[in-house]
Structure 1
Amino acid sequence: MMNNLKTAVILATIGGLMIVVGGAIGGTGGAAIGMGIGLVFVGGSYWFSDKLAIKSAKAVEVSEAQMPRYHAIVADLCQRADMPMPRLYVSPDPQPNAFATGRSPNHAAVCVNQGILDILSWEELQGVLAHEISHVRNRDILISSVAASVAMGITFLARMAMWGAMFGGGGRDRNDNVLGTLALAILAPVAATFLQMALSRNREYEADRRGAKLLGTGEPLARALEKLDRGVRQVAPSVNPAQATAYIANPFSGQRGQLARFTASHPPMEDRIARLRSGEWQH
């Protein structure tokens, strides 16, 4: 319940930023335009998020005949979770990682990178897939897609506001408003990004918890996360930054410094592993 409340607050705040930025461009009419653009971005993410994510990863669908163990593990997890079987994909990306996408359990896909197949045992991969199936069951994919699309819309509107403030027509009130508009144009996308990251971190903890409950143990996922934490730091990412929150491990975690940690799209890996091994997921 608390996680759902946090999600609702964050999504409402991001949506509010969209209206505020629109209002800065054109008053009441601009706020309506901002809301309209937000709805367009959300609608696009709802219908096409899976196709965009799969295409971005250069992934190909694999049949049961091609990868029987992969299919068997996911089929077992779906039976435990009482949900339909998603489409299964493999990306040629050498970075060890995985993600799920799609607007609902009936329209979902799970993708693993070749890199993750190279370093994990099947038991560890089962832990990863339980995490991804939990994302699908919780409809986290839709929520994160909506947050990402609205954040993109805010950035789009903010750029319009900035160019309008810099090159708009003259007028007695123009100089009074230009600095405020420019500040909003810069700060609104930053705020939306931080809110989107907070939402992503919250959902990763919950998918870890539910994935462990599906298996009855957190150890396979904990071992997998240890290997992934090392692996993503050793292999440079080839991921669109807009897709980073979809992955089980932050593709850009090789970045150094406190700022990188503060702005990370995922919770600290050591915290996730500790929670899985402490038995906290059982509560």
Structure 2
Amino acid sequence: MSSRFASDSGLTRRMLVTMFLLGLLYVVFVGVLIALGAQAVTVLLIAVVVLLVQYFLSDRIALFAMGGREVSPQQAPELHGMIDRLCAMADMPKPRVAIADSDVPNAFATGRNQKKSVVCVTTGILRRLEPQELEGVLAHELSHVAHRDVAVMTIASFLGILAGLMTRVALYSGLGSRRGNGQGGLPIGLIIMLVSVVVYAVSFLLTRALSRYRELAADRAGALLTQRPSAMASALVKISGDMARIPTRDLREAEPFNAFYFAPALAPGATMAALFSTHPPLDRRLDQLSKISAQLGRG
């Protein structure tokens, strides 16, 4: 389904290259497993089942895990009104709306397509942001919905799931069987485990890079839709600054869901190298929004 969200050809090219590399890695990995005589079919079927569950139930799983509850227009009229306006501007179906009772200021969108999507905000972000700032955050999340980012990232993570399963199979099935008739050579299980670990590491880095590209694309599309990039920048600065005042226990509980969030929740002392982060550095996001402001001729 189309929408009026702006695209970015440079980011799109980088995302396509990353997806191509992930696909190539998958083909090579499965080929190696088959060549080694591994029971790849069984593991592949398990990985496909996991992928399908994530793909079709992503909205329900995410809401349940994060304690979100759907709210009606009567329960949250201002929030619904804002999403109504943004959806009309973007020419897209309205997703379900939810609120999570958490002091961590954040928001997320999930669902495999526009008709099966939900946008959830925390009570913490509702208390902290001004209406224009919240609108910028919601525009970012609606861009994820319009561009089916959840579906893309779910599919992209499939290779990592498969490699992780193969590593466990190699570990728990024993590493003693050898190539040929047991006459010398490295144990097949050990070879499979080593190949799986390498594939998992490479796919992990590629998936994280893809996630960062999609976050930048969502920032850009949301800022251009609202025509107020400075409001999104203000929201980013405010949320990132307020994270330092959130109890460490709450931040650690939120960290597993960083890939979904508008801004990552990091506990004090936590450092994440750029290669491992699901989101671009704050400075990178603010720099892009500043350039968009200059292009639009406004702050």
TM bucket, shorter chain:
0.7 to 0.9
Specify whether residues 16 and 232 from structure 1 end up closer, same or farther in structure 2 by C-alpha distance, changes over 3 A only: farther
- What whole-Å deviation, never above 9, does each CA across 1:102-151 have from its counterpart, x for those lacking one? 11111110001121112111111011001001111111121112223442
State the percentage of identical aligned residues: 31
Alignment of 1:15-30 (within 5 A): 15-27=23-35, 30=39
Which is worse superposed, 265-274 or 28-37? 28-37
Q: Structure 2: which amino acid aligns with 1:89?
A: A
CA contact (8 A) 2:175 2:187 kept: no
Shift of 1:47: 0.7
C-alpha contact 1:11 1:147 (8 A) present in aligned 2: yes
Shift of 1:79: 0.2
Choose from 252, 257, 261 the match for 2:266: 252
Structure 1: how far apart are the matches of 2:200 and 2:270? 23
Separation (CA, whole Å) in 1 of partners of 2:42 and 2:27: 8
Q: What is the DSSP-based 3-state SS (H/G/I as helix, E as strand, rest coil) of the residue aligned with 2:280? A: coil
Aligned-residue offset at 1:43: 2.2
8 A contact 2:177–2:189 mirrored in 1? no
Contact (CA 8 Å) 2:175, 2:190: kept in 1 or not? Answer: no
Count of equivalent residues:
281
Partner Cα separation in structure 1 for residue 184 and residue 12 of structure 2: 43
Whether the aligned pair in 1 keeps the contact of 2:26 and 2:159 (CA below 8 Å) is: yes
Unpaired runs of 5+ in structure 2?
1-8
> Is 2:281 the partner of 1:268?
yes
Q: Tell me the amino acid that sits aligned with residue 70 of structure 1.
A: L
Equivalent residue, structure 2, for 1:13 = 21
Alpha-carbon deviation of 1:61? 0.7
Q: Give the equivalent residue in structure 2 for 1:79.
A: 88
> TM-score, length-normalised on structure 1?
0.87
Q: TM-score, normalised by structure 2?
A: 0.83
Aligned with residue 229 of structure 2, among 212, 218, 221: 218
The amino acid that maps onto 2:214 is R
Instruction: Confirm or deny: 8 A CA contact 1:22 1:33 kept in the other structure.
Output: no
**Cα 1:68–1:17, aligned 2, differ >3 Å: closer, same or farther?**
same
1: CA distance between counterparts of 2:50 and 2:265? 24
1:40 CA drift (Å): 3.0
Counterpart of 2:146 (choices 137, 142, 166) is 137
Q: Counterparts of 1:1-283 in structure 2 under 5 Å?
A: 1-27=9-35, 30-33=39-42, 35-164=44-173, 166-168=175-177, 171-175=182-186, 177=188, 179-235=190-246, 236-239=251-254, 241=256, 243-252=257-266, 254-257=268-271, 259-279=272-292, 282=295
Aligned with 1:238: secondary structure? helix
Whether contact under 8 Å (1:161, 1:181) holds in the other structure is: yes
Aligned in 2, Cα 1:227/1:167: closer, same or farther, shift over 3 Å? farther
SS at match of 2:262: coil
Deviation at 1:272, TM superposition (A): 0.5
Whether the aligned pair in 2 keeps the contact of 1:59 and 1:91 (CA below 8 Å) is yes
Change (3 A) 1:131 1:113: same
Shift, 1:98, TM fit: 0.7
Q: 1:140 and 1:34, CA in 2 relative to 1: closer, same or farther beyond 3 A?
A: same
Query: Cα offset for 1:38?
Result: 4.4
Task: Name stretches of at least 5 consecutive residues in structure 1 with no aligned partner.
Answer: none
4+ residue runs over 6 A deviation: none
Task: Assess if the C-alpha contact under 8 Å between 2:137 and 2:235 holds in 1.
Answer: yes
